[in-house]
Structure 1
């Protein structure tokens, strides 16, 4: 399949019209049905094409969103939206399943054969003939020296043909590419189930609610940590044991642990409590582990007030009455920077995805209805200036406007170049990181239920596939594509009040924390409850997932951190059969 398969999506519509002298092709020749295209590829080698990347991520290519008049086929059917296989209820589901198949372990183990055909020894020559992998001569590199053609008309025709019908990639290898080993064989322990949900319960003596957790447990760090921040602004640098191995069975249960706070030696647990927080007077905050000045009394302190760097060297905190947010060194608890960029109290912060030693974006939202985008330098552990030079005053990279109410949630993606912000009146806006407004995202069914406005936006999550999860108030969840199309209609209403949520790294699962003290795992698409861990004794104020995705951490209202064992593989479409008889 070539790039003109999705000619009903710009900019490919323009490309297609240019190729066809300003008109669409004959209706019977247009891309109309997945099953029909598949049948043609099986019967006629002329119809065999490389699958375009959009088939694995761009559901919009199957919609005739602009209502182009594409005519009728000989059988009388009007050409419009693409017909999908019966196993796909929507274009979004087709793209999801298609991508899951592409990224499956089975395909990965056979990827070497595709590499041999496209980039390797089967690309040309006798091996290409044996593999039925020979293409038109103009598609091969070096097959035609255009500069040697004097006739301008002939040269233009050849250039047009090469441009519109593609080229075979450069041959990179002349020997067979080695196959990739299956993850089932190289990492069998990842499929070893744990019999008990509860891993550990860690209680701090202050009894102050844990409002933020950052599980920076990457084994590449010199000292992996679990950063915890309490409502009294005391934070803990709790050591993470990367060598901890989950037992296959445990005698303890959550109920027993909640009733009996005695715990075995710390060596048996993945987290060791910060020594500075293990002893002392709970009524006296530790100066070396305190974030400094009190927050504005109008704000409720939540997980959105804090952002931590990947190595836990710095905490960025907001909510101060002087309209600033601050960068605080965790080792000394000293304020390194005080950043001013808003005309009212800063209500929430967000950080883009980043590597262990890479810079990132930090976005701040405020009561003044604006979002400001900043550049954080990992090397200098500070918000950078305009030229990213040491000693410069912090300077915003973009000021995002458009909201009419205070900002209540932000999501930043450097990978996609997007900033998504939500406000108290339920408005969601998507900007680029350059400051341009892309679109407004609307959940229609919430605004049409006799309400003046939608509930406030309390959380926004975005997967690497650009699927967006929006939480309205404490009850409603809606999912959208990157272009703003709502996936679940109507919005899902939770039976429990949701206080916090986080997304797994692959974007497949959402972990929820509720007011009733439960932590649940939900499949993102479609929104499907998969599992709920045993109930704790107080509301869950924040949640996090360890870097190896084997543990879920929850911060509780009671001032404790609960850690559950989790195995996301048992819900994965490709591996779930391995758990059927266990």
Structure 2
């Protein structure tokens, strides 16, 4: 209101890119008038000097209920009736006339200097989007309440007294018993907003129940011979859990085929599971031999079946692209050969959305590669023992790695943000992890499940990242102080330097500004899932999060399949509901 020329814009990177605030390349941005070297961006106190926490809280605010219910005001300013006219003037939403749609026709300007000046102004100020809702205010988005509190007296609903309490006209009288009631229709509205494997309606709580089981030997189909031994991969097809045996992975999201590997021909075999377009191709596997110099040790297939990545005991990785988007009888074209491991490649994962391939090897290295060019990007040197599993979060690009009992989480740019030794957790102690998978959760929910880990006793543990709590730090900083503390100390040093310079007539000393100390947090055990007695306690060999994060599919060394699904609030008993809501 004081200075209309002070226009600031929160660009999209403020909500997903913590690297925006770090001068990781150590560029020389000069110094301020107080002789303070400009380095990392100084963050507000509530971010605790951690750019990742700043981004998380910024995104959480953007996705909050308050913003959802006030979003119509922004729509009115940008796309609606307050974009132009008297309403725009009242809202101080007026910009340079050249930025508005249809205000100037570049083709009609004949003077080259005027034409260039007009184009420069448009490029400098940007362009106002089209006016989509010109006549009336945009309707407010209503977010339904999942839970309402009902009051009972002597077992009977006290509707009149409850309405007075709800309106704040009177406090709850003695004898009124509050009972939470769940609105199922509102719960359906919130279903797709729940973080993976968390209770629908209570996103900060995790609770799963086993709903389906079976064995891979009970399955039938074109690849029935592959359904034996330990489970190599699991998938949800037509709301039914299916699995394939050891050294097998599904080809694509709908199980259009099965890829087997590990043979002495140093190749793979693609078995079709769908009806072929031509009769002579029906149920005919396709052999791709001599892909490496030694047998293939691991394979990963992108969900759209467009990319296939193979790792070998010779330490090499090869990226293949499928013609006709991964149909079982299409040809595979070699795109790149990656060399960066000194021993066998043990685990692979690929993320087309972020364009990366992650590999973990017996040499304890975790390497990150460019999916399209095959170039080496970086190595994550967090482990000192052979890597068991790697998994990429397709929502954030975060890279989850497991080596022995050690679980680590890096950003897509290689910054370590969480690390824990699971051997120190009492319930996990003595049961080594055997496999792991990322839940593909978003970064802003404070208590979301980020990893599911399988163990040698058949149990599955769910893990989240410890966050800041009021009054204490849940993680650990590096030996340097936080950026906010450094900023305060730096300001004090500037004051001292300026005072000394003024007293002695000398040039003031140059003081370096604050640098961020990225906090490495710890993992927190959220739930411990145990198999029933009939299934036995066999090592978990395959994990997958399915059905938009609501289901966890598990396969073990005995060929047993299990399916766990996240509970809804309306599936809880009254006592459990009170515990979840009021704990």
Instruction: Give the TM-score normalised by structure 2.
Output: 0.66
Tell me which of 323, 327, 330 is aligned to 2:270. 327
| Inter-CA distance 372–379: structure 2 relative to 1 (3 Å threshold) | closer
2:461 maps to: 520
Q: Which residue of 1 aligns with 2:393?
A: 463
**What CA distance in whole angstroms lies between the structure 2 residues aligned with 1:149 and 1:552?**
63
SS of corresponding position for 2:72: helix
In the comparison of the two structures, how many residue pairs are matched? Answer: 437
The aligned counterpart of 2:253 is 310
- Compared CA separation, residues 206 and 166, structure 1 to 2 (3 A): closer
Contact 2:306 2:326 in 1 (8 A): no
Q: Are residues 113 and 77 of structure 1, via their aligned partners in 2, closer, same or farther at CA, if it must alter by over 3 Å?
A: same
Which residue is equivalent to 1:504?
A: 439
Are 1:47 and 2:6 an aligned pair? yes
**Shift of the alpha carbon at 1:325?**
1.0
For 1:434 and 1:380, the matched residues in 2 are separated by 17
Q: 1:320 to 1:180 in 2, by over 3 A?
A: farther
2:52 & 2:207 partners in 1: Cα distance?
Answer: 36
Q: Distance in 2 between matches of 1:44 and 1:461?
A: 49
2:124 alignment partner in structure 1: 164
CA–CA distance in structure 2, aligned partners of residues 205 and 415 of structure 1:
31
Q: Which residue of 2 aligns with 1:399?
A: 337
Partner of 1:492: 420
Q: How has the CA–CA distance of structure 1 residues 522 and 383 changed in structure 2, closer, same or farther, with 3 Å as cutoff?
A: farther
Q: Distance in 2 between matches of 1:329 and 1:102?
A: 45
SS in 2 for 1:107: helix
Q: What SS class does the counterpart of residue 29 from structure 2 fall into?
A: coil
Residues 95, 133 of structure 1: alpha-carbon distance in 2 compared, 3 angstrom cutoff: same
Deviation at 1:518, TM superposition (A): 2.3
Distance change >3 Å, CA 567–CA 77, structure 1 → 2:
farther
1:344 corresponds to which residue?
294
Instruction: Using the TM superposition, give the Cα deviation of residue 534 of structure 1 relative to its aligned residue in structure 2, in angstroms.
Output: 4.1
List alignment gaps of at least 5 residues for structure 2.
147-184, 192-199, 219-227, 276-281, 443-447, 467-520, 532-536, 571-576
Change in CA separation of 1:562 and 1:205 when aligned onto 2, cut-off 3 Å: closer
Alpha-carbon shift at residue 377 of structure 1 (Å):
6.0
1:19 — aligned with what? Answer: none
Out of 3, 20, 24, the residue aligned to residue 65 of structure 1 is: 24
Q: How far does residue 58 in structure 1 lie from its aligned partner after superposition?
A: 1.5
Deviating more after overlay: 116-125 vs 204-213: 204-213
The corresponding residue for 2:316 is 370
Q: Go from structure 1 to structure 2 and tell me whether the alpha carbon gap of 1:523 and 1:319 turns closer, same or farther (over 3 Å shift).
A: same
> How far did 1:230 drift?
3.8
Instruction: Return the match for 2:234 from 214, 227, 236.
Output: 214
Deviation at residue 493 of structure 1 after TM alignment: 1.6
Tell whether the 8 Å contact from 1:349 to 1:362 is kept in structure 2 after alignment: yes
- Give the SS at the match of 2:47: coil
1:373-425 CA distance string (max 9 Å, x none): 2234677722644xxxxxxxx32233333333322222212222222223221
Q: Does the 8 Å contact 1:210/1:561 carry over to 2? A: no
Structure 2 residue aligned with 1:226? 241
Unaligned runs of 5+ in 1: 1-41, 218-222, 232-300, 386-393, 447-453, 571-575
Q: Report which structure shows greater RCO (CA 8 Å, sep ≥6).
A: 2
- 1:553–1:562 Cα contact (<8 Å) kept: yes
Q: CA deviation at 1:459?
A: 2.0
Q: Cα offset for 1:77? A: 3.7
What is the alpha-carbon root mean square deviation over aligned residues? 3.5
Structure 1 or 2, whichever has the larger Rg, is: 2
Q: Residues 224 and 499 (structure 1 numbering): CA distance in 2 closer, same or farther, change over 3 Å?
A: same
Cα deviation 1:85-113 (Å, max 9, x = unaligned): 22224112211222222233443343333
Cα separation, 2, equivalents of 1:527 and 1:378: 44
- 1:511 and 1:131 map into 2 onto residues whose CA distance is 49
Quick check: 1:457–1:470 contact (8 Å CA) kept in 2?
no
